[in-house]
Chain A
């Protein structure tokens, strides 16, 4: 378990603009290499810029699928299970982790509290601005929507610009 790092608090709430497929691809690649690799070598092998590789790794780390001791990236915990899991099981593993991340938890709690379980895009952007004060909230927004949709944690309708609790979901 990572201990919370005080001064970096807001930084860890930032969501990298990385899709779930890319993160799963990284974990699949690492598993095929025995579960670990040197980050620098990995970037070279993939012909990806180091910065770009680090962003994908950061995203996978945020989802609790890998950790990064020294200059290596190592598959851990749910990452070891996710590759052989069925699609619904994968979604469940991601969902469990997202529920612990402040940004997702906060949006979900907000949705549960409102009377009709709907909140607007603007309201969510305000929440993000509180949680990530030094960053552009818009840049985390698409990841919030996409990961949230994948995990079926909440839905988002871009026509009405509203978030809602995903169906089949009972409110506590």
Chain B
């Protein structure tokens, strides 16, 4: 690989405030970082650090009060259709089947029903949901529900995948399995999306998965650390290098 990876998204001195009855609250302050294509970044911080707000600034649902967000070099002014989001609580519509839930995000993007069903089939297979096409969310375990959430996001073929605590409502064993499968998807270069930004409060999860961890302070969220994780994958929690990173991130949060 000789090509230099391109900057995909850049936050340039971003500050975000919310107006509440008791006055303005600054949620994020002076946030600057860049994500390059192919990177897997996690954002960690205490609850109330503005982690989810940060994701919503990147998908264009929110806009900064100061500073700017640039996507592929251009300042974002509306919804960023190049991104897709995976949610903590899956965000599935209970009255729709697995296939219909996966197709949901595609309806706004492509009018061609043949293309839509091809995409649905392709990503159903990719996340291991073949056989569950006509199941309803109520029939599924948490792990299978989050596979639907993931397939729906991937089916859009975004250039940036945003994930908001995607494993935190799953039991510990299911989350081990889905983390591994997510890494398989991320490292599969045939996929359209290879750039991922994930919010988590789980430091070990961040070290296990990502190339880089951005550490936020408590409200207002400021960047207190931007750490590159220089460990080969698969990463093991008991390894000395892993434990050193845990200590390093933890000391920034404490």
A contacts, CB < 8 Å to B: 19-26, 28-29, 32, 46-48, 56, 83, 87-88, 90-91, 142, 145-146, 148-152, 155-158, 166
Q: How far is the CB of A89 from chain B (nearest CB, A)?
A: 11
Residue of A nearest to B126 (CB): A87
Residues of A within 8 A of B180 (CB): 28, 83
Q: How far is the CB of A17 from chain B (nearest CB, A)?
A: 9
Which residues B113-138 have CB closer than 8 A to chain A?
A: 125-128, 130-132, 134-136
A25 in contact with B131 (CB, 8 Å): no
B177 in contact with A157 (CB, 8 Å): no
A152 in contact with B139 (CB, 8 Å): no
Residues of A within 8 A of B174 (CB): 19, 21-22, 25
B contacts, CB < 8 Å to A: 125-128, 130-132, 134-136, 139-144, 147, 170-178, 180, 234, 236
Residues of A within 8 A of B131 (CB): 91, 148-152, 155, 166
A149 in contact with B173 (CB, 8 Å): no
Residue of B nearest to A18 (CB): B141
Residues of A within 8 A of B175 (CB): 25
Residues of A within 8 A of B128 (CB): 87, 90-91, 150
Residues of B within 8 A of A155 (CB): 131, 134
Residues of A within 8 A of B135 (CB): 149, 156, 158
Residues of B within 8 A of A145 (CB): 139
Residues of A within 8 A of B142 (CB): 19, 21
Apart from A56-B173, A149-B132: 5 A-B pairs, beta carbons within 8 A: A21-B142, A21-B143, A25-B143, A87-B126, A155-B134
Q: How far is the CB of A34 from chain B (nearest CB, A)?
A: 10
Q: How far is the CA of A56 from the CA of B132 in the complex (A)?
A: 22
Q: How far is the CB of B246 from chain A (nearest CB, A)?
A: 16
A157 in contact with B134 (CB, 8 Å): yes
Q: How far is the CA of A96 from the CA of B54 in the complex (A)?
A: 46
With A21-B141, A47-B172 given, is the CB distance from A91 to B130 under 8 Å?
A: yes
Q: How far is the CB of A165 from chain B (nearest CB, A)?
A: 12
Q: How far is the CA of A87 from the CA of B136 in the complex (A)?
A: 22
Q: How far is the CA of A88 from the CA of B148 in the complex (A)?
A: 17
Q: Which of B141, B176, B234 contacts A19 (CB 8 A)?
A: B141
Residue of B nearest to A168 (CB): B130
Residues of A within 8 A of B139 (CB): 142, 145-146, 158
A21 in contact with B177 (CB, 8 Å): yes
A25 in contact with B176 (CB, 8 Å): yes
Residues of A within 8 A of B130 (CB): 91, 152
B236 in contact with A22 (CB, 8 Å): no
Q: How far is the CB of A143 from chain B (nearest CB, A)?
A: 10
Q: How far is the CB of A71 from chain B (nearest CB, A)?
A: 19
Q: How far is the CA of A97 from the CA of B11 in the complex (A)?
A: 51
B132 in contact with A26 (CB, 8 Å): no
Q: How far is the CA of A48 from the CA of B125 in the complex (A)?
A: 31
B177 in contact with A22 (CB, 8 Å): yes
Give 9 closest A-B pairs by Cβ, nearest first: A21-B143, A19-B141, A25-B173, A25-B177, A25-B176, A149-B131, A152-B131, A24-B177, A21-B174
Q: How far is the CB of A162 from chain B (nearest CB, A)?
A: 11
Residues of A within 8 A of B173 (CB): 21-23, 25-26, 29, 46, 56
Residue of B nearest to A154 (CB): B131
Q: How far is the CA of A119 from the CA of B225 in the complex (A)?
A: 59
**12 residue pairs from A and B, CB less than 8 Å apart:** A20-B141, A20-B143, A21-B174, A22-B173, A25-B176, A32-B234, A47-B172, A88-B125, A157-B134, A158-B134, A158-B135, A166-B131
B177 in contact with A87 (CB, 8 Å): no
Residues of B within 8 A of A47 (CB): 172
Q: How far is the CA of A22 from the CA of B178 in the complex (A)?
A: 9
With A21-B143, A21-B144 given, is the CB distance from A29 to B134 under 8 Å?
A: no
Q: How far is the CB of B122 from chain A (nearest CB, A)?
A: 12
Residues of B within 8 A of A152 (CB): 130-131
Q: How far is the CA of A151 from the CA of B130 in the complex (A)?
A: 9
